[in-house]
Amino acid sequence: MSSAAGIVVATGAITAANELLFSGGASKFNWRLLPATAGLAVALDLLQHLAPQFAVGLAWLCLATVMVVPFGNAPTPLQNITTGLGYAKKVT
């Protein structure tokens, strides 16, 4: 697995765990995250053969975006972390 694909898999894992833990359990889990993560990992792995630095940079940009932009039914991981540590009020 290339470095870009590894970063994308980590991005998908963070998003999936956030959705599973903070959106109401498995009943509200967005299962489309799994094939979307796999497709993006394959695409960036292929792109990394043509433009390695661009593919890795794009993967890091995806990870940064997932941390601050809400995808799905749960708040962002950054909001959940700051709420859990007591630095922010609970988002409803």
Q: How far apart are CA 39 and CA 5, in angstroms?
A: 10
Res 2 pLDDT > 80: no
Q: How far apart are CA 8 and CA 29, in angstroms?
A: 19
Q: How far apart are CA 84 and CA 92, in angstroms?
A: 14
The model carries a pTM of: 0.86
Res 92 pLDDT > 70: no
